Amino acid sequence: MTDSNASEHEEETPSDELLAELERLAEIRHSLRRSDTHQNLWRSESTANSEHQRLYMFVDQLTSPVRFALATDEAPPILPDYAELEEVGRGGMGIVYRSTHQRMQRVDAIKVIRPDRLRGVSLDTVKQMQHRFERELRLAAYVTHEHIVPVYQVGEIDGCLWFSMPFVKGTTLYHLSQNRAAFYCRLSLRERTTKRWFRGAKGDTCFPPDAKSDVPSPERIAGYIEKIARAVHAVHRRGILHGDIKPHNILIDTETDRPLLSDFGLAEFLASDVNTVSTGVAGTLAYMPPELIQAAMRNASPDEIAATRSVSSDVYSLGATLWAALTGHSPRCGNHSPKQHLADNLADLVAIKSSLANDFPGKLPVQLLRICQKAMAEDPSARHASAEEFADAIAAWLNRPRWNRFFPGLQHLLWMVVAPLLFANGVVVWLLLRVRASEPWVWLAIFLGYVPLFATFAASQKSNRSSESARRELWSIWIGHAVGSLACLTSLRIMFHPDPYRSIAAFYSCWAVITSVAFFAKSGNFWTAYRWIGGAWSVVAVLLAFIPTVSPITFGVFAALTCIITALGDREFWDA
Amino acid sequence: MTESGTHVVESLNEFRPVLLTLAEAMISSTLRGDLEASDLVQQTLLEAHCNAEQLAVMSKGAFFAWLRSALNHNLLDAVKHLKAQKNDVRRRVRESDLEASFIRLEQVLIADETSPSEVVQRNEQICIMLAALQTLPDNQRRAVIMKHLNGRSLKETADALGLSEPAAAGVLHRARQHLAKCLEEQCDD
């Protein structure tokens, strides 16, 4: 409404009769919105008419959500081909019904865009919206992917837009993440109250191995997000953006444990409907990239916002979704006032809430959080270049060297059994040398030290196929270690021919050097702290030269220490 | 304590008109005369005052949600009480209907960080509008509530107010003008 119109209005106040007429027209128009014949009811462009129309729409639009809620006698629409609709859910934008498609005998979910969202919008806009809605949905339907909820049918009934999709029996990622957060809160509470300092099997309680349990492990969540990211990439290649990726939109099919992304291409559509009260930015603030929030703060035009939106904004949302699914909190805890919320979002852009991560009672995998952090970088160019790259990063994390997954006790076996055995082995060799036992027995005793080590690796055979390469690497390093040591002992024996005991004293120094090399080799693909252990072994090698008499015991002590450090220190490797 | 007390009182004053409008809209025409919206709101605010310490730490959204649910409980209690008193079939209001509409109201008004940005903004405007309704003269307010919140037609509104249709249309138009002005002023602030 312009000022000139307002002043005109002050000059001539419409009569009550005219107002009553306009009021009735407005009512008719609302009940028969879709019928074109009634468009001409609005063609008489008098000032009173436009003023009345503006005010009517203004009030009606704001009151419609409340009216919609208070109405008790509200029947679901009757759709062709469908049996009676049964309401299953209701959100800010639409109502979800469940019904059987009568010809196909298939249970569908039907989403009807809430009629109150469309009230107070001019007919032309509605027409435009319907076109865009159908176009977007056709595009979305064009992309068939096993992790995207397909759209079966698009339609319009009584001025309401609706579309049908398969009814997914299951839950959403949001609910799973809430379960997870609640589970860890209870767990930490119980631990605090019972104060069990020594919980040998803590790993078991932290990561329930059951793939279908209600409390998903980080691996399971990461697996879902990886699949979703690949689906998003497939759609990006067709030039369609999702625009509103969040845990709520990721459905998990209970039967097949398959993640499905829903509401494709709708965010943008839903943004442009009621622009008068909105900032014009679609999507959910908590999962929205900063550049879009900034555009909203500038009151940018819808075109500008559409230009800002890109593949990297979906990558940001994917990162935020992963973060939220892991922690149970959305990455930016919101304030309820939208202005404050926007300001908050801008204030801690990169400050991915590390304190929040610390507060999380369970263990959060550091490397996975790093992936989130990269995807949620403030600068779009610093993020993963595509959803596929993001998926690859998660896949790399899922396939990381890790051999404790299906054998949770392995870690404890290493420090409680293998470490004492290695130490005992050192002592035995030392005793054999003291009593001048025959040479083959000493050799046997020395190489028996490999038995507990290889037994541990053999126990880890149960681990999944994804860590196959890691296990192969581990085996080749340690078999090489054993073979090299045997060759070394043999050559030393030949060098110091008459005296077998001197050759063994020298061998321990060489053995420490070989161990040092093995750990340096492991530091590349495994725990980075192995290079420090490798360095320590080099020092031990020199040290052993000074105390040749007790070298078996010294070596045994350091071997046991290494086992203990590996078992207790290498968190990421074991189960992070 | 006193600080939290004054904080709560300020918030209560802010939400009083919003609650009043909601209560008026929720009391259906069959109950009008038996129940007073202002009594229900008064009772709700009193309860809030008693729990000031607990409420002082809540965020604004959570506080408003608490008030709404307290109002709903009071309304349901009042309806039950009324039914026990008078066994009049005409006056029978189904509590399940009231409850269902309250749940829907919550779904509409609750906005958290997971809601689309637009919904958050819209809800703030709805609250301003509901509060502004209380600044209207009595018959204008009733007309807008009947027409826009209860979804009645002009004829029904006119009948309920005891006015002719043109007179009711005039009342409605003036009420809308007033509301629009209120909201524009609020938005300028």
| Shared-domain flag, residues B17 and B86 | yes
| Shared-domain flag, residues B154 and B113 | no
Look up residue B21 and give its two tokens.
């409008």
> Among residues of chain B, what percentage have pLDDT more than 70?
70
| Shared-domain flag, residues B6 and B52 | yes
The rounded distance, in Å, linking the Cα atoms of A23 and B143 is 13
CB A352: neighbour CB atoms within 10 A?
19
CB contact under 8 A, B121 and A278: yes
Per CB-CB distance under 8 Å, the chain A contacts of B120 are 285, 336-338, 341
Is the CATH number of domain A86-167 3.40.50.800?
no
Over the stretch A413-429, which tens digit does the pLDDT of each residue have?
778 888 899 999 999 99
CB A153 within 8 A of CB A133: no
Residues in chain B, total: 189
Query: Which of A1-5, A204-208, A357-361, B55-59: highest mean pLDDT?
Result: B55-59
CB A522 within 8 A of CB A567: no
Give me the pLDDT at residue A198, please: 36
Is residue B126 one of the residues assigned to a domain?
no
- C-alpha R_g of chain A: 34
Q: Which residue of A59, A270, A288 is in closest CB contact with B176?
A: A59
Tell me the average pLDDT across B81-102: 62
Distance to chain B for A19, nearest Cα, Å? 6
Q: Which residue of B113, B166, B179 is in closest CB contact with A285?
A: B113
B130 touches chain A (CB under 8 A): yes
CB A319 within 8 A of CB A383: yes
H or E element: which one contains A94? strand A94-101
| Locus of tokens 């009043």 | B20
B116 touches chain A (CB under 8 A): yes
Give me the pLDDT at residue A467, please: 59
Is residue B124 one of the residues assigned to a domain?
no
Distance to chain B for A565, nearest Cα, Å? 43
Contacts of A69 (CB under 8 A, 6+ apart): B101, B104, B105, B107, B108, B109
> Among residues of chain A, what percentage have pLDDT more than 90?
15
pLDDT at A351 > cutoff 50: no
Give me the pLDDT at residue A389, please: 93
Q: Which residue of B115, B173, B176 is in closest CB contact with A284?
A: B115
B122 touches chain A (CB under 8 A): yes
Classified as helix, coil or strand, A169 is coil
| Locus of tokens 């020199």 | A542
Calculate ∠ Cα A30-B121-B41, nearest 5°. 85
CB contact under 8 A, A66 and B130: yes
CB contact under 8 A, A52 and B124: no
Per CB-CB distance under 8 Å, the chain B contacts of A22 are 169
Q: Which residue of B113, B124, B129 is in closest CB contact with A334?
A: B113
| Shared-domain flag, residues B67 and B104 | yes
Of A264-268, A512-516, B127-131, B174-178, least confident by mean pLDDT is: A264-268
User: What's the mean pLDDT when you consider all of chain B?
Assistant: 75
| Shared-domain flag, residues B147 and B112 | no
Confidence of residue A356 (pLDDT cuts 50, 70, 90): very low
Per CB-CB distance under 8 Å, the chain A contacts of B115 are 92, 284-285
What's the total number of domains in chain B?
2
Give me the pLDDT at residue A337, please: 39
Is residue B18 one of the residues assigned to a domain?
yes
Is residue B78 one of the residues assigned to a domain?
yes
Residues of chain A with CATH 1.10.510.10: 171-398
Say how many CB pairs under 8 Å bridge A and B: 166
| Shared-domain flag, residues B111 and B142 | no
B124 touches chain A (CB under 8 A): yes
> Among residues of chain B, what percentage have pLDDT more than 90?
0
- Indicate which CATH number applies to the domain containing B188: 1.10.10.10
| Shared-domain flag, residues B85 and B51 | yes
pLDDT at B72 > cutoff 50: yes
Distance of CA A424 to the CA centre of its chain: 46
User: What's the mean pLDDT when you consider all of chain A?
Assistant: 73
Is residue B21 one of the residues assigned to a domain?
yes
CB contact under 8 A, B129 and A63: yes
Per CB-CB distance under 8 Å, the chain B contacts of A288 are 117
The rounded distance, in Å, linking the Cα atoms of B141 and B130 is 10
Q: In what order do the strands lie in the sheet with A94-101?
A: A86-90, A94-101, A106-113, A160-166, A153-157
| Shared-domain flag, residues B85 and B141 | no
The rounded distance, in Å, linking the Cα atoms of A281 and A302 is 7
Of A102-116, A188-202, A452-466, A488-502, least confident by mean pLDDT is: A188-202
| Shared-domain flag, residues B156 and B102 | no
The rounded distance, in Å, linking the Cα atoms of A516 and A534 is 4
CB contact under 8 A, A19 and B166: yes
| Shared-domain flag, residues B11 and B86 | yes
Domain residues for the domain of B114 are 2-118
Q: How far apart are the first and last CA of chain A?
A: 60
Under DSSP, the state recorded for B135 is: T
Look up residue B120 and give its two tokens.
């958050």
The rounded distance, in Å, linking the Cα atoms of B5 and B10 is 9
CB contact under 8 A, A65 and B108: yes
| Locus of tokens 């990269």 | A374
DSSP state letters, A96-119: EEEEEETTTTEEEEEEEE-HHHHT
CB contact under 8 A, B109 and A65: yes
Nearest CA in chain A to B169: A20
The rounded distance, in Å, linking the Cα atoms of A152 and A167 is 11
Residues of chain A with CATH 3.30.200.20: 86-167
Classified as helix, coil or strand, B137 is coil
H or E element: which one contains A321? helix A311-327
- Residue with the larger pLDDT of the pair A150 and A405: A150
The rounded distance, in Å, linking the Cα atoms of A487 and A465 is 33
Q: Where are the alpha helices (DSSP H) in A32-122?
A: 47-70, 115-118
CA atoms in the 13 A half-sphere facing the CB of A244? 23
pLDDT at A487 > cutoff 90: yes
Distance to chain B for A24, nearest Cα, Å? 7
B99 touches chain A (CB under 8 A): no
- Residue with the larger pLDDT of the pair A305 and A543: A543
pLDDT at A193 > cutoff 90: no
| Shared-domain flag, residues B105 and B174 | no
- Residue with the larger pLDDT of the pair A32 and A364: A364
For domain A171-398, give the fold.
Answer: Transferase(Phosphotransferase); domain 1 (1.10.510)
CB A432 within 8 A of CB A442: yes
| Shared-domain flag, residues B9 and B56 | yes
Is residue B127 one of the residues assigned to a domain?
no
